[in-house]
Amino acid sequence: VKLWGGRFKKELNEKVEEFMRSLPFDKRLFREDIMVNLAWAEALAKIKILSEAELEKIKKALSEIEGEIERGEFKFLPTDEDIHTAIERALVEKVGEAGAKIHTGKSRNDQVVTDLKIYLKREIKEIARLLRDYLKALSELAEREKDLVMPGYTHLQPAQPVLFSHYILAYFWMGKRDFDRLVSCYKKMDYLPLGSGAFSGTSFPIDRKFLAQKLSFSHVTENSVDAVSSRDFALHFLNQAAILMIHLSRLAEDLILWNSKEFSFIELEDSFTTGSSLMPQKKNPDPLELVRAKAGRVIGNWVKLATVLKGLPLSYNRDLQEDKEALFDSVDTVKGALSFLPSLLSSLKVNPSQMRKSLQESDVLATEAADFLVEKGVPFREAHSLAGEAVKLAVERGESLEALSLKDWESVSPLFSAEIGDYLSIEKSLQRRNVEGGTSPQRLQEELEKAQHVLSRMEEWLK
C-alpha cells in the first residue's frame, strides 16, 4: 500500500523500495506515531472534518493497532515504507473511510519530526535520570573514601598528592554540566512541529495550541519551513551525548589504569570484569573498555548527522530520514553505559596502602620544597630551581626527597632549615591547598555538601 500512487504509471522499482525503507528502524516510533494520530484526529474532529462517530472509531482502531504492535501480532507488509504508512494502512483497513480522512492537512514531513521530538524528549528525561544515579554514585564513593590520599598525575607522571574523593568529584562536576546541557537541549526542542504540513502550513483551521497541549509541548514552532527542515534538536542531542560519553570514557580510562597490576589503586568487583579464554589468571576490565570505545561510536553518530544536514536545501528532503538510526544508537549506547556505572562504582574497592606506597616513591612533594622557600621570601622561579636541585640529589642517590638529611638540604640552600622535614608532609600539603575548589580536607567537605545540593536540584527537574 502506497500513500501516493495516484499519478504514477509504473510501480516503484523493487530494489529501490528496499533501499529506501525505514520501517525496520522507525518501527520503534509506533507509540509516538499513534499519539500523534490520536491528537490529530481530535483536532480534525474539532473542525468537523471528522464526525464524533468517526473519531470514536479511529480512537478505538488506533488503540487496537498499538496493542497489536506491542504484542508482536501486527502484520507489517513488505510495501509498508515506514511506520507512518503501516499505521495509516492498518487504520484504513479497520475503519475504511474514516481512516482515509486521517491524513487531511498533515504530511509525513511534520508527522515524523513530531514523533521524533516526542521520543527524544522522553529519552532525554530517562538519560538524565540515569545520569543523576551515576552522579549520586560518584558522590557516595567520594563520601565513603573521604580520607584517602593518592598521587595525582599530569602527563601521566606523578605530580602532587590529591584526595581521592576530590579527584573522583571532578567527574561529578563534569557530569553535572552534562545534566545541565541535557536540560537545555530538552527546552530547545519543546516546540511542536505538527500543523506545518508538507512545509508551508495547512489550509485547514487546525488548533495547534490544542495539539501542543495534547502532546505535552510547551510551545508551537513559529515557522512551518523551519519546522519540517530542521534537525538541530537531534544534532544538539547527539553532540551532548558525545560530550557525555567522552566524559565517561575518561573515567573508564582512569579506572582501567588504576585497576592494572602496575597501579593497583583499586580493584573492580568480579561482576564488572571478564576472564580470558586463554590465560586463566586474567581479570579484564572489558565493560570499561567498551565504555571507552563506544564514546567513538557516539561521536560518530553526531558527525554522521552533521554531515547529512550540511548544505541540505530546505525544506524536507529524504536525506532527513537518516537522522533516526544515529539518534537511536546514541540513546541506546549512552543508556547502556550509564546503566551499570553506578553499581560498578559502589562496588569497587580501594587500596590505600598501595596509594600511600606510590606517594612515597614518587617525589610528589617537590612543589612543597619550592613553596617552603617562597615562604622565606625567595622568588618562586629561584625556589623552583633550588627544589629541583634537591630532587636531583635524591634521584642520584636513588632515594626519595623525604630521605634527605638536614645537611643535604642545607647544601642546596642555607635557607632550608630544620622545619623542612615537617613541611614535607602529605597531610600538610593537602591542608595547605585550602583555596576555593582546592583539595584540602576542609574544602572537600564543602564540595561534598555542594554536590548534595546539586543532586537535590536535579531531582526537582526530573519530577
In the bound state with ligand ARG, the residue whose beta carbon lies nearer, of 12 and 170, is 12
Residue in 40, 43, 109, 134 binding ligand ARG, rule: CB under 6 A: 109
**Residue 88 Cβ, how far from ligand ARG at the closest point, in Å?**
12
Q: Residue 318, interface with ligand ARG (CB under 6 A)?
A: yes
Q: Which of 93, 92, 109, 110 is nearest to 101 (CA)?
A: 92
Residue in 108, 136, 208, 294 binding ligand ARG, rule: CB under 6 A: 108
**Residue 309 Cβ, how far from ligand ARG at the closest point, in Å?**
13
Number of residues that bind ligand ARG (CB under 6 A): 10
3-state secondary structure of 151: strand
E strand intervals along 193-327: 219-220, 266-267
Residue 170, phi then psi, degrees to nearest 5? -55, -40
CA distance 383 to 406: 17
Q: Residue 316, interface with ligand ARG (CB under 6 A)?
A: yes
Q: Residue 174, interface with ligand ARG (CB under 6 A)?
A: no
Q: What angle do CA 345, 346, 348 make, to 5 degrees?
A: 65
In the bound state with ligand ARG, the residue whose beta carbon lies nearer, of 65 and 112, is 112
Q: Residue 112, interface with ligand ARG (CB under 6 A)?
A: yes
**Residue 182 Cβ, how far from ligand ARG at the closest point, in Å?**
24
**Residue 45 Cβ, how far from ligand ARG at the closest point, in Å?**
25
Q: List, in order, residues 6 or more apart from 181 with CB less than 8 Å away.
A: 240, 243, 244
Cis peptide before 315 (omega within 30 of 0): yes
**Residue 294 Cβ, how far from ligand ARG at the closest point, in Å?**
25
Choices 104-112, 155-163, 266-274, 348-356 (CB under 6 A): range interacting with ligand ARG: 104-112
**Residue 225 Cβ, how far from ligand ARG at the closest point, in Å?**
14
In the bound state with ligand ARG, the residue whose beta carbon lies nearer, of 88 and 363, is 88
CA distance 308 to 322: 7
Residue in 320, 383, 412, 426 binding ligand ARG, rule: CB under 6 A: 320
Choices 40-48, 131-139, 268-276, 315-323 (CB under 6 A): range interacting with ligand ARG: 315-323
Q: Residue 22, interface with ligand ARG (CB under 6 A)?
A: yes
Q: Which of residues 64-93 bind ligand ARG (CB under 6 A)?
A: 82
Kindly list the catalytic residues.
155, 276
Q: Residue 237, interface with ligand ARG (CB under 6 A)?
A: no
Q: Residue 101, interface with ligand ARG (CB under 6 A)?
A: no
The 8 Å CB, 24+ separation contacts for 18-24 are 20/81, 20/318, 20/321, 21/81, 21/82, 22/81, 22/82, 22/83, 22/321, 22/324, 23/76, 23/80, 23/81, 23/82, 23/83, 23/85, 23/86
Q: What angle do CA 281, 287, 290 make, to 5 degrees?
A: 120
Choices 87-95, 316-324, 349-357, 440-448 (CB under 6 A): range interacting with ligand ARG: 316-324
Q: Which of 435, 296, 420 is nearest to 366 (CA)?
A: 420
Pairing of the two strands 266-267 and 349-350: antiparallel
**Residue 51 Cβ, how far from ligand ARG at the closest point, in Å?**
29
Query: Given phi > 0 = left and psi -120 to 50 = alpha, else beta, which region is 152?
Result: beta
**Residue 204 Cβ, how far from ligand ARG at the closest point, in Å?**
19
Q: Residue 233, interface with ligand ARG (CB under 6 A)?
A: no
In the bound state with ligand ARG, the residue whose beta carbon lies nearer, of 24 and 275, is 24
In the bound state with ligand ARG, the residue whose beta carbon lies nearer, of 54 and 81, is 81
Greatest CA separation found in the chain?
101
Identify residue 312 by its one-letter amino acid code: L
Q: Which of 173, 169, 166, 140 is nearest to 439 (CA)?
A: 166
In the block, residue with C-alpha cell 521530538? 117
Choices 240-248, 314-322, 329-337, 411-419 (CB under 6 A): range interacting with ligand ARG: 314-322
CA distance 261 to 239: 35
In the bound state with ligand ARG, the residue whose beta carbon lies nearer, of 318 and 381, is 318
Which DSSP symbol is given to 459?
H
In the bound state with ligand ARG, the residue whose beta carbon lies nearer, of 324 and 433, is 324
In the bound state with ligand ARG, the residue whose beta carbon lies nearer, of 165 and 229, is 229
Q: Residue 321, interface with ligand ARG (CB under 6 A)?
A: yes
Chain contacts with ligand ARG (rule: CB under 6 A): 22, 26, 82, 108-109, 112, 316, 318, 320-321
